[in-house]
Amino acid sequence: MAIYKNKKLLLLIVPALILGTLTVLILRQNSKQPQAGITTGQLKQKEPTQQNQEVRKPTEVIAKNLNIPWELVFLDSSEILITERPGTLLMLKENKKIPVSGVKSVGEGGLLGMALHPNFKNNHFIYLYLTSQTGNETTNEVDRYILEGSALKNRNVIATGIRGAANHDGGRIAFGPDGFLYITVGDAQNENDSQDPNSPNGKILRIKDDGTIPTDNPFGNAVYSYGHRNPQGLAWDDKGKLFATEHGRSGALSGLDELNLIEKGKNYGWPTIQGEQTKEGMVTPIINSGPTTTWAPSGALYYKGSIFFTGLRGESLYQYDTKTKTLKAHFTKEFGRLRSAALGTDDYFYLLTNNTDGRGNPKPGDDKLIKIDANTFF
Ligand SMILES: [Ca+2]
């Protein structure tokens, strides 16, 4: 019968195939042995270099002698706006310094965050986070202006009642993919406020572009997440997930700085839990710096699967790969303290140093704006 015959044939063919495969494998294995003095790595052919390809310099200082810069945004493809903590808004290419009135420059406070409205091209709305003086109190607020040429017009206070202090003023503002404005607010040195959902301090706030409260905010006020100490960086990934950097404990015991995945209404633990500690109803950070390392993390951005964030005390640009869940530090101690990072439309990162506020060791030309080819990180 045909089937019987085939079975017999198979009994002969299968062992022969196995023997043959084994022989080939053994021969291949032997041929993989490197020749004397040459490693297999060196045998690899290099990709031919393309002619006429632009040679990209890894880093380039594009502005010097900035006065304690904090945040930068791209007005268009050629103009960059930079906030300077003492109270000026710098238009870099125009070389114009626009004074911002009502700024109280104290400690970590002053003129801090800045954001352009998603529809800036049509409405010219620009938002500034600044420390001010209200009666006897140091306060923080978010103001909306119309930027006309190099003039700030129609000042409109859209977030107020935020306590300020010499330290822990938060200060980052950014529009999310939902079109709402997110605001990082520090505990202003009163840690009990962080666990109080009725206080704006120690929070990430979320408001509409005119300062009113989105109907689906979790507590009926501006609070989006709570239990924060001093968050200073915001970045959304390509799926709309929000990441935030946060300064951990300071003083004699430093460290335990955090990178958090922020979700609406959640409690991020300060001052009840720190580092890897867990508690029901509280969120432990994705990563923390550990008890003996301090990042003092500030500005953040998302690029090609990684969250990049700057370190002040850590004097580095950190890269957290969301897929491999590993952290790398770049440029450690090369530029000093780093405050903010922004991604240009040209696939370059733009970094602001923070060496002139009395806490750093300024080098000639500080503070600086540094441009870096983003492809060098991969
Ligand atoms: Ca925390």
Among 53-57, 101-105, 367-371, the range scoring the smallest mean pLDDT is 53-57
Q: Which domain holds residue 319?
A: 59-377
Q: 251 falls in which pLDDT band (50, 70, 90)?
A: confident
Rounded CA separation 76/307 (Å): 24
Q: Is residue 70 part of a domain?
A: yes
* pLDDT surpasses 70 at 17: no
Q: Is residue 47 part of a domain?
A: no
Q: What's phi and psi for 135, nearest 5 deg?
A: 60, -125
Alpha carbon distance, N-terminus to C-terminus of the chain: 63
Q: What's phi and psi for 78, nearest 5 deg?
A: -120, -20
Are 317 and 351 contacting, i.e. CB atoms less than 8 angstroms apart? Answer: yes
The tens digit of pLDDT for each residue in 214-231 reads: 999 999 999 999 999 999
Average pLDDT for 56-66: 88
Q: Is residue 117 part of a domain?
A: yes
Q: Is the peptide bond before 271 cis (omega within 30 degrees of 0)?
A: yes
Q: Which two tokens stand for residue 13?
A: 């063919």
Are 205 and 183 contacting, i.e. CB atoms less than 8 angstroms apart? Answer: yes
Q: Is residue 141 part of a domain?
A: yes
Alpha carbon of 277 to ligand 1 centroid (Å): 9
Q: Is residue 166 part of a domain?
A: yes
Query: One of 168, 228, 247, 330 is an active-site residue; which one?
Result: 168
Alpha carbon of 353 to ligand 1 centroid (Å): 26
Q: Is residue 37 part of a domain?
A: no
Rounded CA separation 69/63 (Å): 11
Alpha carbon of 263 to ligand 1 centroid (Å): 13
Q: For residue 117, indicate whether it is catalytic.
A: no
Q: Is residue 51 part of a domain?
A: no
| Pairing between β-strand 306-311 and β-strand 317-321 as defined by DSSP bridges | antiparallel
Alpha carbon of 190 to ligand 1 centroid (Å): 15
* pLDDT surpasses 50 at 326: yes
Alpha carbon of 226 to ligand 1 centroid (Å): 9
Alpha carbon of 321 to ligand 1 centroid (Å): 20
As for how many domains the chain has, the answer is: 1
Q: Is residue 39 part of a domain?
A: no
Percent of the chain with pLDDT over 90: 83
Alpha carbon of 267 to ligand 1 centroid (Å): 8
Q: Is the dihedral of CA 73, 75, 77, 79 positive or negative?
A: negative
Question: The CATH number of the domain where 83 resides is what?
Answer: 2.120.10.30
pLDDT of residue 13: 52
